[in-house]
């Protein structure tokens, strides 16, 4: 069953995409659905993109629910370990 729940967020960062080129990331789209490539029934799909640069300025990630939770916990741990003045 697909939820069709899509979460969008504005981003400020960079990603390495096709041809190993860096590009600015302005948008994130996150949703739980059928993957395109991952070998799983459903995955948490994350698209990081700069829509102003066209479809080539995009990095897509498909993670199992367990892997997505591990990634979220690792991100939180890394941010919590950094000095507050660096993450403000």
How far apart are alpha carbons 46 and 32 in whole angstroms? 9
Q: Is the predicted pLDDT of residue 58 greater than 90, yes or no?
A: yes
pLDDT score at 3: 74
Going by pLDDT thresholds of 50, 70 and 90, the confidence category of residue 1 is low
**For residues 31 and 13, is the Cβ–Cβ distance under 8 A?**
no
Q: What is the pLDDT of residues 5-48, one digit of tens each?
A: 899 999 999 999 888 899 999 999 999 999 999 999 999 999 99
DSSP string of 1-49? -----EEEEEEEEEEE-GGG-EEEEEEEEEEEE--SSSSSSSEEEEEEE
User: Would you say the pTM of this structure is higher than 0.75?
Assistant: yes
Element (H, E) at 71: helix 65-81
pLDDT score at 56: 87
């Amino acid at each position: 069953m697909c939820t069709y729940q899509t979460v969008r967020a504005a981003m400020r960062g960079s990603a390495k995409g096709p041809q190993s080129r860096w590009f600015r990331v302005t948008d994130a789209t996150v949703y739980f659905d059928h993957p395109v490539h991952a070998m799983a029934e459903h995955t948490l799909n994350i698209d990081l993109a700069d829509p102003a640069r066209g479809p080539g300025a995009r990095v897509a990630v498909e993670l199992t629910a367990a892997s997505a939770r591990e990634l979220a916990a690792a991100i939180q741990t890394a941010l919590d370990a950094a000095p507050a003045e660096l993450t403000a």
